[in-house]
Amino acid sequence: MGPEHWVDLHGDCLYRYALLRLRSPELAADVVQETFVEAIKGKRAFAGRSSERTWLVGILRHKIADHFRRAKRAPLNGLTSPPEDDFDHHGRWRKMPASWRGEPSRALESREFWDVFSGCLARLPHILAEAFLLRELEGVGSEEIRQRLGITAVNLWARLHRSRSLLRGCLEENWFGAARRPAVGEQTSRYAKGSVRS
């Protein structure tokens, strides 16, 4: 089976994945090319342990990681804080999640929402994004992701949790209206009390 066939079979899928992470069509096409070249070199090593697609996406992930390492792209504002920052030393919310204005499910019908959403996704640090996309985009089970990335279950869950917190915060800031503070008299729990800044 010739390489042409490979490109036709998997090219679109790899390209879309790369585009989601890199947001530049040129860059995405570049890493897809690098991925196929690398794949051809390692064809013998493949040995059919996983599906061809899984194997290629694995190489692509490494190529994207290389890109981020080279570019040393710093995550943008709001996506840099360590997880502990969401909570004080008692484990209480420092800043309570805002009530999202509008009907969130309606947002899914808006084109602008998807621009914001993919913008937020692209801003996730790579180490988090690869775990998160495997889990939430491709729907791969925890156990398999754990093995593919070679990390412990606890580490995986921590990465997924962190990804969700960052994405949530990014959407709140850029779409659901962060400026809104809890209204006077709005009920807060005893855990959140005192941590709501007004």
Partner 1 sequence: MNRIFRAWRVFNAPCREMARLASESLDRKPDRVEQMALRSHVIYCTACRRYTRQITFLHIAMEQLADRMEMAPPLPEEARAAIKQVLRDSPGSFS
Dihedral of CA atoms 24, 27, 33, 38 in degrees, nearest 10, equals -120
When binding is defined by CB under 8 A, the residue of 82, 91, 150, 185 that contacts partner 1 is 91
The whole-angstrom separation of Cα 196 and Cα 168 is 18
42: Cβ contacts below 8 Å, ≥ 6 apart: 59
98 binds partner 1 (CB under 8 A): yes
6 interacts with partner 1 by CB under 8 A: yes
Q: Which of 126, 142, 144, 178: binder of partner 1 (CB under 8 A)? A: 142
CA of 152: how far to CAs of 21, 33, 50, 65, 67, in Å? Answer: 24, 32, 21, 20, 25
Residue 189 touching partner 1 (CB under 8 A): yes
How many residues line the site for partner 1 (CB under 8 A)? 64
Q: Tell me, what amino acid is at 11?
A: G
Binding to partner 1 by residue 157, rule CB under 8 A? yes
Stretch that binds partner 1, among 49-57, 58-66, 68-76, 83-91 (CB under 8 A): 83-91
Near partner 1 by CB under 8 A: residue from 23, 73, 164, 181? 164
Both tokens of 115, joined, read 């621009």
Say if CB 65 and CB 130 are below 8 A apart.
yes
104 binds partner 1 (CB under 8 A): yes
Q: Which of 9, 85, 138, 194 binds partner 1 (CB under 8 A)?
A: 138
Nearest Cα to 56, choosing from 82, 70, 81, 37? 37
Binding segment toward partner 1, per CB under 8 A, in 27-35, 49-57, 58-66, 68-76: 27-35
Q: Is 86 in the site for partner 1 (CB under 8 A)?
A: yes
- CB count in 10 Å sphere of residue 153: 11
Dist. CA 179–CA 181, nearest whole Å = 6
Give the interface with partner 1 as residue ranges (CB under 8 A).
2-4, 6-8, 11-12, 14-17, 19-20, 25, 29, 32-33, 36-37, 40-41, 43, 86-87, 90-93, 96-100, 104-105, 108, 114, 117-118, 135-139, 142, 153, 156-157, 160-161, 164-165, 167-168, 171-172, 186-192
